[in-house]
Structures are given as C-alpha cells and as structure tokens.
C-alpha cells in the first residue's frame, strides 16, 4: 500500500515533520473503522509542542527533516537517518489504545529523542544507534511524556515497560557496561531503572541527566556528582536497594501505573 496525505492538515507538514499514513488506514466508504486521517491530524495538532518539550530536555538542540509514516504494522516504532533528515515508522496498530493519538505521540517521543541524542553528541548515542544506555533514556523520556500529560493510565506501559525483564533475570551490571543493545530485554530494563533511579531516588532533573552523557551510565552518575576520575560504583547501591525491595528473580513487577519506576526506595 502507498503512504498518502489525504485529509491531513496542511498536507501533513509542520515546521519539523512531514506526516503520511498507509492508505488502507483511511476511513472511507469501504473502511468505516479506519482511524485516519483523524488520528494523525490529532498528532499534527500537538507535535510541535511535543517537539519543544524534547528540545528543552536537550538544551535546545535541534533536529529537522523528519518524515513520519503511520504503517499498518504493530508493536512499536523505528527510525533511520540523520539529525537533518530521517524517516520514522510508527507501527501503531494492534493494541486496545492504538486509535488514541497519545500512543502515536508516545512513539514519536521515544524515537525522536534518540535523534536528539545523535544531534547533541554528548555520549548517549553510541556508534550507529542509541545502544543500551540511550535506549534506557528514550524509554525514560517516553514515560515522562506520559506522566506529564496524565497518559499513564491509557495502558501503554502495560506493554512497553522493561524493568521486570531485569528484575526477573540474574541482574547483571549494565550500569558500568554499555552493550550495543536496544532491544526489549534485561539490559534495557536495567538501564531504564537506573535512569529513573537518578531522577526519583537521587533527585537529578531531566536536563541534568541528559547533559551529563557519558560512555556508560556509571559515567553519567560521576558527571552528575562532579567526580572527575573513575571512583565509585553506583551499581552497588542501586542493585542493593532493588534486591531488598524485590528479592526474588521470578514474578516481579513494579506496581503501576508506571511499571518502570519503583523509586524512591527506603535506604
């Protein structure tokens, strides 16, 4: 199927984005349940304010030339390209909340923040992609978008939370180690949990965390504390707190609505 802009506000164009959707999603005489163009128009109406939020998080860094394609596929999103030209594919079908524009906005936040990491170039982006620590940051920022807009109860975190994948694993150290891994797995459960730890347990702001990028999350922690050498191992207290609160490695899940954020925990 082709990607079309039929019915989209201003032909799908905004200051930073160009939107289109798969023509089979269009609501017409033969497809009375199609979510388009209404769903994408609702995203277009808010996408620049969402962009300004991300730009603020990244100290007014700028990315442009983003083509957003709403596909017929399910379970997430992806992107490829550069800070000045990229294509973002939203695979937004298949969930009970898929027709909610907030879901598409969440996916865009999760992908575009990774492009911001590339543009800012302070250590979050590693090699050809965001890697484990950047994946953790994008998941954290997606969660913050949901929280700041009172969207946590939509159900998105039911499907996208990753903390339990690490809590129910051998709990390896992905704070001092940063594998080139952006999957739905224990490594990124650890990195997401650790960034929430920096935020809710230690009290650092989103801007402070992002501006303190490093080759590892331990390096981010050191930058936040002004430690200029390799002293200290933040993984130890982080893991100790979680081992005490969630001692088993089987069947753990953090209480909702944000299943990635157990903090703060009692020292």
Location of structure tokens 């009692």 = 266
Rounded distance between C-alpha atoms, residue 83 and residue 63, angstroms: 5
Q: What is the mean pLDDT of residues 201-215?
A: 97
Q: Does residue 115 lie in a domain region?
A: no
Band (pLDDT 50/70/90 cuts) for residue 15 is very high
Residues 4-23, mean pLDDT to the nearest whole number: 98
94 and 41 assigned to the same domain: yes
Task: Work out the angle between the directed axes of helices 234-245 and 217-225 (0-180°, nearest 10).
Answer: 110
Q: What order of strands is seen across the sheet that includes strand 85-91?
A: 3-4, 17-22, 66-70, 85-91, 76-82
Residue 207 domain-assigned? yes
- Note whether 91 and 136 are same-domain residues: no
Residue 114 lies in a domain: no
The range of the structural domain enclosing residue 80 comes to: 3-101
Residue 108 lies inside a defined structural domain of this protein = no
Is residue 123, in this structure, part of any structural domain at all? no
Whole-model pTM? 0.96
Q: Within this chain, do residues 140 and 215 fall inside the same structural domain, yes or no? A: yes
- In percent, the amount of the chain with pLDDT more than 90 equals 93
In a domain, 11, yes or no: yes
Whether residues 179 and 229 share a domain: the answer is yes
Please give the helix or strand (H or E) that residue 56 lies within, else none. helix 38-57
- Whether 164 and 79 share a structural domain: no
Q: How many domains does the chain have?
A: 2
Tell me phi and psi for residue 24, to 5 degrees: -70, -10
Last residue of a domain, one of 81, 101, 121: 101
Position 65 confidence tier, pLDDT thresholds 50, 70, 90: very high
Mean pLDDT within 52-57: 97
Residue 214 lies in a domain: yes
What CA–CA distances, in Å, run from 159 to 7, 14, 17, 154, 260? 31, 30, 27, 11, 11
- Tell me the backbone φ, ψ of residue 213, rounded to 5 degrees: -55, 150
**Cβ(52)–Cβ(86) under 8 Å?**
no
Would you place residue 128 in the very low, low, confident or very high pLDDT band (cuts 50, 70, 90)? confident
Task: Give the pLDDT band (50/70/90) at residue 57.
Answer: very high
d(C-alpha 85, C-alpha 67), whole Å: 8
Residue 180's SS3 state is coil
More confident call, 31 vs 231: 231
Residue 152 lies in a domain: yes
Question: Both 142 and 43 in a single domain?
Answer: no
Residue 217: pLDDT over 80? yes
pLDDT digits (tens, 9 = 90+) for 164-177: 999 999 999 999 99
């Amino acid at each position: 199927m082709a990607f079309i802009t039929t019915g989209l506000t201003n032909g799908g164009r905004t200051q930073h984005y160009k939107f289109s959707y798969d023509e089979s999603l269009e609501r017409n005489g033969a497809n009375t349940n199609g979510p388009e163009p209404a769903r994408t128009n609702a995203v277009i109406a808010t996408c620049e304010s969402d962009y300004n939020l991300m730009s603020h998080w990244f100290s007014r860094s700028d990315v442009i030339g983003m083509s957003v394609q709403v596909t017929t596929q399910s379970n997430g999103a992806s992107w490829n390209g550069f800070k000045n030209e990229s294509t973002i594919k939203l695979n937004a079908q298949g969930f009970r909340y898929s027709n909610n524009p907030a879901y598409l906005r969440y996916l865009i936040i999760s992908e575009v923040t990774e492009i911001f990491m590339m543009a800012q170039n302070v250590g979050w982006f590693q090699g050809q992609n965001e890697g484990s620590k950047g994946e953790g940051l994008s998941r954290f920022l997606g969660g913050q978008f949901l929280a700041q807009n009172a969207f946590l109860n939509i159900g998105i975190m039911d499907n996208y939370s990753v903390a339990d994948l690490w809590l129910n694993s051998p709990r390896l150290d992905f704070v001092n180690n940063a594998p080139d891994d952006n999957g739905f797995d224990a490594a990124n459960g650890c990195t997401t949990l650790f960034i929430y730890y920096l935020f809710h347990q230690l009290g650092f702001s989103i801007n402070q965390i992002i501006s303190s990028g490093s080759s590892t999350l331990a390096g981010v922690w050191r930058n936040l504390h002004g430690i200029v050498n390799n002293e200290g191992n933040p993984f130890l207290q982080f893991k100790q707190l979680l081992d005490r609160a969630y001692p088993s490695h089987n069947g753990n899940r953090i209480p909702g609505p944000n299943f990635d954020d157990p903090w703060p925990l009692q020292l």
